[in-house]
């Protein structure tokens, strides 16, 4: 994994009120401080962390030939009461569907948390991050909870 990644570039244009159009290469999305037409920056940060770790899990589990059928993540972030209202605690729960071994999931979570998730390693490391998971058999449907 020694290949150098290009720098991350993003262009942001104010659209009025607290809304901005963000462009990253060929992808465009809206940021909205009022959360009416798009996520707010802290929601995007939460999505980035959950997404980074979920991508790691899918990559590691499928590379390890685990029979992954589906993966869902739910993140709950608790913020400080006073400015800058940063994340102080984050609970991230994965629901994994498939006849996947618990040990493989635990190793994947540890590798993501300790080594691979660049989003996590870009955040303050004093955030209390709790990662949990459930495995649902491939024949079962992963219900929402």
Model confidence pLDDT, tens digit, residues 8-21: 999 999 999 999 99
pLDDT reported for residue 2: 62
Q: List the beta strands (DSSP E) in 56-127.
A: 68-79, 87-98
CA 83 to chain centre: 24
Average pLDDT, the chain: 94
What is the rounded CA–CA span in Å between residue 136 and residue 145?
A: 13
* Six token digits for residue 81: 């009461």
Give the model confidence (pLDDT) of 79-111 as tens digits: 999 999 999 999 999 999 999 999 999 999 999
**In this model, does residue 1 exceed pLDDT 80?**
no
* Six token digits for residue 108: 């994947």
pLDDT reported for residue 86: 97
Specify whether the backbone of 77 is left (phi greater than 0), alpha (psi in -120 to 50) or beta.
beta
What is the rounded CA–CA span in Å between residue 34 and residue 69?
A: 36
**In this model, does residue 116 exceed pLDDT 80?**
yes
Please give the average per-residue pLDDT across 34-58, as a whole number. 97
> CB neighbours (10 Å) of residue 94?
21
Contact 100, 62 (CB under 8 A): no
**In this model, does residue 142 exceed pLDDT 80?**
no
Fold of 40-136: GMP Synthetase; Chain A, domain 3 (3.30.300)
Structure-token match 């244009």, residue found: 13
Q: In what helix (H) or strand (E) does residue 30 lie, and over which residues does it extend?
A: strand 27-32
């Amino acid at each position: 994994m020694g290949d150098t990644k290009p720098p991350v570039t993003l262009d942001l244009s104010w659209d009025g009120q607290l809304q901005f159009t963000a462009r990253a290469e060929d992808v465009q999305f809206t940021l909205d401080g009022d959360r009416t037409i798009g996520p707010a920056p802290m929601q995007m940060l939460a999505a980035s962390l959950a997404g980074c770790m979920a991508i790691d899990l899918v990559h590691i589990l499928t590379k390890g030939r685990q029979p992954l059928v589906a993966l869902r993540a739910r993140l709950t972030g608790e913020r400080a009461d006073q400015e800058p209202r940063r994340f102080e605690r984050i609970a991230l729960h994965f629901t994994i569907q498939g006849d996947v071994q618990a040990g493989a999931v635990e190793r994947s979570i540890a590798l993501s948390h300790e080594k691979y998730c660049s989003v996590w390693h870009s955040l303050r490391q004093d955030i209390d991050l709790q990662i949990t998971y459930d495995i649902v058999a491939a024949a079962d449907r992963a219900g929402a909870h």
